[in-house]
Amino acid sequence: MPRFLQGWLGDVVRFSQQRPEIYKVRQRPIYSLRQSILHIKGHGKNPIIAEYKRKSPSGFNMDRDIIEYVKFMESNGVAGISVLTEEKFFGGSYKDLEAVTRAVRIPVLMKDFIVTEKQVNSAYSLGADVILLIVRVLTERELVSLYKYAKSYHLDVIVEVTNEEEIEIAVRNNFDIIGVNSRDLASLDLSLEKTKRLLKLIPSDRLKIAESGIRSRDDIQQLKEAGADAFLIGTTLMQDPNKIKELV
């Protein structure tokens, strides 16, 4: 049973537990997010994961052609695409994910509140290459179990943290890709300063992804200096996709 959660987080987890499973024979090879990030970094560019989302509990609301957006991002050399598939609070869908995995040949992250193996099965079936496991909503036992289950499909897993205690859990379980979310999912508070501090607590042998609130090249530069290897950006790029040209 996931952690006891109140408010919208509790709702989204209960909703996710009921999510119907998609079972299809996967048609798509698996693209490695780790390799994509290291390749782009090796060429002196910023590895950016461009996110497609229609809305969020923090008040974001926007619609734009999903395939046009992801193809534009792919053509501008992003390391990967993140697709919100959570329906209730983010306006996402599995249909969006499948359309994107059919359209691009770079790593695709299924961005959702994964709390069941059914959701991992759906991610794999729909062609996703990466899933997100959020420490804030899972017990440590569930986290380890779902991580191993996803790795059995050879998927990459981003384990998301927002404080020191959660970093401790991620580090001691040897999770290899750690995302630091500048937005606290419970309070919705946003702080890049907190993220810069947290990034320094993560060992350099882990791949580190800074998530949320990134608006400029300067934000990227400061997060990079704090140890981030890659940058997950949604709002800034959904509002103005051309910004990718100055950020990548």
Ligand X SMILES: O=P(O)(O)OC[C@@H](O)[C@@H](O)c1c[nH]c2ccccc12
Is residue 118 part of the annotated active site? The answer reads no
> Quick one: which of 36, 46, 125, 235 contacts ligand X (CB under 6 A)?
235
Is residue 211 part of the annotated active site? The answer reads yes
Interaction between residue 234 and ligand X (CB under 6 A): yes
Give, in degrees to the nearest 5, the angle at Cα 144 between 200 and 167: 15
Under 8 Å between Cβ of 227 and 208: yes
Interaction between residue 232 and ligand X (CB under 6 A): yes
Q: What is the DSSP letter of 22?
A: P
Interaction between residue 47 and ligand X (CB under 6 A): no
Interaction between residue 166 and ligand X (CB under 6 A): no
Kindly report the backbone phi and psi dihedral angles of residue 51, in degrees, each rounded to the nearest multiple of 5, phi listed first: -105, 140
- The least distance separating ligand X from the CB of residue 184, rounded to whole angstroms, comes to 10
Which residue in the block uniquely carries the two structure tokens 């890049």? 192
Indicate the burial class of 76 (C-beta count within 10 angstroms; 0-12, 13-18, 19 or more).
middle
**Amino acid, res. 236:** T
> Quick one: which of 181, 196, 198, 208 contacts ligand X (CB under 6 A)?
181
| Nearer Cβ to ligand X (80/234) | 234
- The least distance separating ligand X from the CB of residue 29, rounded to whole angstroms, comes to 26
Indicate the burial class of 85 (C-beta count within 10 angstroms; 0-12, 13-18, 19 or more).
buried
Is residue 117 part of the annotated active site? The answer reads no
How many CB atoms neighbour CB 114 within 10 A? 28
| Nearer Cβ to ligand X (56/122) | 56
Give, in degrees to the nearest 5, the angle at Cα 88 between 84 and 93: 40
Interaction between residue 233 and ligand X (CB under 6 A): yes
Site string for ligand X, 115-154 (x = CB under 6 A): ----------------------------------------
Is residue 160 part of the annotated active site? The answer reads yes
Interaction between residue 85 and ligand X (CB under 6 A): no
Q: Which residues bind ligand X (CB under 6 A)?
A: 51, 53, 56, 111, 160, 181, 211-214, 232-236
